[in-house]
Amino acid sequence: MHENTDQHLTLNQAARIAPGNVSPNCLWRWCRRGVLSRSGERIKLKHVRIGGKLFTMAKWIEDFGERLAEADAKYFELSDEPDGCAELASPPRRKRVTQSAVADDRRREHLSQVRRELEAEGL
């Protein structure tokens, strides 16, 4: 992969040596957000932050790929069922909460409170 795996690399440098056609932005996401494996586990690329820059190492990129593959393998392992088939359920997906959904909830709560106040006043 890279001749000196103990050297810190900028994300630009790491993108050139990483397997596949990845961008520095992709590496940034792997560092900060990680990748959701099939088993539902979130795997992050190990990195250090020095000043305002993120750095990683070639060996950390290799470790990241191995950890992601291991987590995916857990998902595909066969269970101990007698017929040898495993139920492969997708990991639970969280519902994304948007700003507008939060605002809608607040508005509904406010309207509900106003109705209660009006009913208490007999209106």
Q: Quick: pLDDT tens for 73-108.
A: 888 874 334 454 545 555 566 666 676 777 888 888
Tally of domains within the chain = 2
Residue 58 and residue 100 in one domain: no
Residue 101 and residue 42 in one domain: no
pLDDT at 28: 96
Residue 14 and residue 59 in one domain: yes
Residue 60 and residue 114 in one domain: no
Alpha helices (H) along the chain: 11-17, 24-32, 58-76, 99-120
**Residue 23 in this model has a pLDDT that exceeds 60:** yes
pLDDT at 78: 43
Q: What is the mean pLDDT of residues 23-39?
A: 92
Range of the domain at 18: 9-76
Which residue, 4, 11, 17, is CA-closest to 32?
Answer: 11
Residue 88: inside a domain, yes or no? no
Residue 17 and residue 48 in one domain: yes
Residue 81: inside a domain, yes or no? no
